[in-house]
Amino acid sequence: MSKSRYHPLSIFLHWFVFILIIAAFIAIELKGQFLKGSEPRELCKTIHGVFGQLIFLAMAIRLMVRIKYGVPEPTNRKAIVNTLAKTIHWLMYALLLIAPIFGILYFQYAGKAIHFFGLIWPQLLTPNPEMKKFVEGIHEFLGNSLYFLIGLHALAGLWQHYVTKDDTLRRMLNKVKAST
Ligand code: HEM
Ligand code: HEM
């Protein structure tokens, strides 16, 4: 694999996860429009949970692709910028894998069914309202931190495209020719 390009699967998964995160965000924000305990509110949580589980799977595959094929060298010559970008990338990997686990724990402690395309998770934990509140807080914190990091990351990507005018965004869109 050339050092100037991302693996096509990395590119596909990058934008696929982007769409999934928007979908998960919309579903959980819609939840707030409905009364507590109502059917549509529970449905929003279920849909959010399905997108969240897909995010986990996509990120796990993406991590394996990254480990196997690597990523191209950074386009920016400033070491501090590269370190910051790398830190944010790894934080996003970590949070996108950890946040869904806390979402699953929430459902388990709430004693509610977790749906995934016709499958239903077995109840593995004893329902516990205190633990439910605790993991809910962690899940929300991780989710909101993610939205902040993603916003920062997207702004940096757009900055490099429109201000610095380098190939960073183009290569994540598979629009750059391999030079090596
Ligand atoms: C759901 C939101 C997003 C997540 C979780 C995310 C995550 C990541 C991660 C982890 C990388 C590192 C490369 C890799 O391992 O695949 C990356 C690279 C990149 N992302 Fe995103 N990203 C998101 C949205 C966006 C958006 C909206 C843009 C548009 C501006 C963008 C632009 C880029 C660019 C240009 C790179 C390449 C960076 C480089 O080559 O140094 N990303 N993204
Ligand atoms: C990376 C993936 C995920 C992200 C970014 C995420 C993000 C969030 C955020 C920010 C909230 C708080 C929304 C608010 O009330 O303002 C939330 C709530 C929730 N999430 Fe996730 N989530 C993810 C995955 C999951 C998964 C996999 C599940 C379960 C299978 C799940 C279940 C829930 C539930 C049930 C709530 C609502 C809790 C309540 O009633 O207040 N999430 N999520």
Q: Whose CA is nearest to atom 3 of ligand 1?
A: 18
Mapped onto helix, strand or coil, the DSSP state of residue 34 is coil
Tokens linked to 140: 């929300």
The rounded distance, in Å, linking the Cα atoms of 100 and 19 is 16
Listed in sequence order, the residues at least 6 apart from 109 whose beta carbon sits closer than 8 Å to its beta carbon are: 125, 127, 128, 129, 131, 132, 135
One-character DSSP codes across 49-83: HHHHHHHHHHHHHHHHHHHHH--PPPS---HHHHH
Ligand 1 atom, smallest distance to 88 CA: 10
Q: What is the 3-state secondary structure (H, E, C) of 82-142?
A: HHHHHHHHHHHHHHHHHHHHHHHHHHHHHCCCCEECCEECCCCCCCCHHHHHHHHHHHHHH
Ligand 2 centroid to Cα of residue 106, in Å, is 9
Q: What is the pLDDT of residues 131-158, one digit of tens each?
A: 999 999 999 999 999 999 999 999 999 9
Q: What is the pLDDT of residues 2-51, one digit of tens each?
A: 467 899 999 999 999 999 999 999 999 999 999 999 999 999 999 999 99
Residues with CB under 6 A from ligand 1: 10, 14, 17-18, 21, 66, 71, 74, 85, 89, 92-93, 96, 150, 153-154, 157-158, 168-169, 172
d(CA 37, CA 156): 40
Residues contacting residue 162 through CB under 8 Å, at least 6 positions apart: none
Mean pLDDT, range 59-69, rounded to an integer: 97
Instruction: Give, rounded to a whole angstrom, the gap between the first and last alpha carbons of the chain.
Output: 9
- Binning pLDDT at 50, 70 and 90, where does residue 177 land? low
Strand partners, 115: 120
At 170, is the secondary structure helix, strand, or coil? helix
If you measure from the C-alpha of residue 15 to the centroid of ligand 1, how many angstroms do you get, rounded to a whole number? Answer: 8
Ligand 1 center from residue 96 Cα (angstroms) = 13
Residue 14 burial (CB < 10 Å; 0-12/13-18/19+)? Answer: middle
